[in-house]
Structure 1
Amino acid sequence: MRIALLGTNFGQAHAAVYAARQDVEVVMFGRDPARTAEIAGRFGHVASTDLDSAFAGDDFDLVDICLPIALHAQTAVRALEAGRHVLVELPLAGDLDDARRVIAARDRADRQVFVDMFERFIPANRVLFETVRDGAYGRLEQLTLHNRTAHLWPGASLGLRALPLEALHSDLDIITRLLGTPTDVAVRALARDADSATVEVSLAFEDTALARTEVSSLMPMSWGARGGWTATFTHGVLDSTGTMGFDGKPTGTLTAHTPDGARELTLPPADQYTALIEHVLACLRGQETNEIPPESTLDALALTLDVHHRVNGPR
């Protein structure tokens, strides 16, 4: 399978996953010839600065879009019109109209689109989804999530303009998938400077459940990137903690607390980025059904955009 990987910043996370596979050929596209050649060579991929060639002819099966958010939708539509399948970094688009244009282009092209909602593939999160679906601990009453990180990406801003769309979106996806659309949303934010900040969101779901999520880039380098959540049910609590695993070595624990005591649940040693890309390739081979189609992200995108506009003002 031939893949056009667009972008040399977060594209490096995808490049590392592809490099470990023997069943793909990857061309990595970037603007700067020297930087693109260095990064692509580091992972054993071909380098190119000729972006148009990613959409010409029949050279590629999949276009993997790791470009700035403002380019996500238009690049996805272009790839679909060229007959490619598409994997696009989150969020799908910077507004709902553009997101719907991608869906319409997908339908016209009869190709698959995948949105990189990687948190759906974290093993502890998959247990949470299954627990809510099966009702193993009763009804979900309260869910709190947190993601706190140092500045692990040189040159990348993690300030108020970036955090909602690039970091908080994943947690809001988990919340909306489990609890639906909130009836009340409260947002607070604090900026240390233009590139470091924290955002907290509290949500209510009629009289049935409460949720809260926090994302922060105020941490020192020694902290790394850590996250977790606590899910309170009518008959028990699940508590998850873990590191993000940007080095391909994520860690995680999941503990169940019930009236009978506490026990740690066994989690598979899965890297969420590897698991997501494996899922994409399996779908393209007809072996699995797409779990991350664009329409499945619209509720979370609408909520994320609401938070973004509250923090940063209207578009």
Structure 2
Amino acid sequence: MKIALLGTGFGQAHAAVYAARGDVEVVMFGRDPEKTGKTAGRFGFAASTDMDAAFEDASFDLVDICLPVPLHAQYVLRALEADKHVLVELPLADNLEDAQRVAEAAAGGDKYVFVDMFERFIPANQALFDAVRDGTYGRLEQLTLWNQTAHLWPGASLGLKVLPLEAMHSDMDIITRTLGLPQDLTVTTVARDENSGAIDATFRFDGAAARSSVSSLMPKAWGARGGYTAAFENGVLDAASTMGFDGKPTGTVTAYTTDGAHQLDLPPADQYTAMIGHVMDVLAGKAENRIAPSSVLDALRLTLDLDTKVNGTR
């Protein structure tokens, strides 16, 4: 499998996974020759600033897009036109119309498109999805999600303008996958400056409620922490985790019922390795695509609604 990895920023999280595999050949693409060469060299990859080659070189099987959000949809469509499989960082697009165009193009072609909904591969989240699907504790009535982080990614803004699309999209996916689309959305914000802020969003459903809270106001020593509390009719799941730049969280999930409290036995896994492993399994015919564009549209719709509440119409 030969992969064109576009982007030297967050692309490093994907690069670390590819570098640990023995079944891929990767070329990293970026705009700055020195930065691209240095970053690619850290992972043992070739480097290029000729972005067109990612699409025009027939030897590439998969284009992995880790570029700024406004470029996502157009580059996915370009890759499909070039007869390539595509993995794109979340969110799929910065507007629903482009996302729907990508979903239609993916459904109508023979090449796979994968959206990096990495949170679906976190074992703690899988435990929540399974409990809702199987009715393990009855109906889900209240879901609280929280993420608090320091500035762990040098140069990256974590202000109000970017937090909805780049930090809360995963929470919106969890909410829509467990409760559907809400009837109402209320938002409160705090801005320290243009690069640091906090958002607290509450969602109303028929017979249920959800909340998503994200903050980039934490000091470096805090690192990144998050989790959820899911209150069901007959029990509670409570998850907590810590995570660094490597994307490998450590955490626990505890179930509380009338029988007491017990910690769930979760498989060891990190989301990026699991997500890229899933991509490779699908391309090898070993699995069905769980992160196709059509599966992310509700989450994107809710994320864009949230972004409008926070930032107005872009």
> Which of the five TM-score ranges fits, normalised by the shorter chain?
over 0.9
Any conservation in 1 of the 2:223–2:244 contact (CA below 8 Å)? no
CA RMSD of aligned residues (A): 0.9
Any conservation in 2 of the 1:245–1:271 contact (CA below 8 Å)? no
1: distance between equivalents of 2:84 and 2:13? 21
1: distance between equivalents of 2:238 and 2:37? 43
Aligned to 1:182, what secondary structure does the other structure show? coil
Map of 1:250 onto structure 2:
249
Map of 1:15 onto structure 2:
15
Gaps of 5+ in 2: none
What amino acid is the match of 2:305?
D
How many residue pairs match? The answer is 314
C-alpha distance after superposition, 1:152-175 (max 9, x if no partner): 111110000110000101001000
2: distance between equivalents of 1:120 and 1:105? 23
Aligned to 2:52, what secondary structure does the other structure show? helix
Map of 1:237 onto structure 2:
236
Map of 1:24 onto structure 2:
24
Question: Equivalences for 1:1-315 in 2 at 5 Å?
Answer: 1-206=1-206, 208-247=207-246, 249-315=248-314
Any conservation in 1 of the 2:149–2:222 contact (CA below 8 Å)? yes
1: distance between equivalents of 2:165 and 2:96? 13
Post-superposition shift, 1:103? 1.7
2: distance between equivalents of 1:182 and 1:313? 19
What amino acid is the match of 1:85?
H
2: distance between equivalents of 1:197 and 1:59? 44
TM-score by length of 2: 0.98
What amino acid is the match of 1:258?
T
1: distance between equivalents of 2:312 and 2:20? 42
What amino acid is the match of 1:299?
D
C-alpha distance after superposition, 1:56-110 (max 9, x if no partner): 1411111000000000000000000000011100000000111011122223432
C-alpha distance after superposition, 1:18-70 (max 9, x if no partner): 00000000000000001000000001111000000001141111100000000
1: distance between equivalents of 2:266 and 2:224? 19
2: distance between equivalents of 1:121 and 1:79? 25
2: distance between equivalents of 1:203 and 1:290? 29
Any conservation in 2 of the 1:83–1:109 contact (CA below 8 Å)? no
Any conservation in 2 of the 1:62–1:86 contact (CA below 8 Å)? yes
Aligned to 1:246, what secondary structure does the other structure show? coil
Which structure 1 residue ranges, 4+ long, deviate > 6 Å from structure 2? none
2: distance between equivalents of 1:144 and 1:121? 19
Any conservation in 1 of the 2:150–2:223 contact (CA below 8 Å)? yes
Which one is further off, 172-181 or 241-250?
A: 241-250
1: distance between equivalents of 2:71 and 2:243? 26
Identical positions, percent: 67
What amino acid is the match of 2:312?
G
What amino acid is the match of 1:155?
G
What amino acid is the match of 2:145?
L
What amino acid is the match of 2:191?
A
C-alpha distance after superposition, 1:205-237 (max 9, x if no partner): 12x110001011101111111110000011110
2: distance between equivalents of 1:104 and 1:56? 23
Which one is further off, 98-107 or 88-97?
A: 98-107
1: distance between equivalents of 2:13 and 2:271? 11
Gaps of 5+ in 1: none
TM-score by length of 1: 0.98
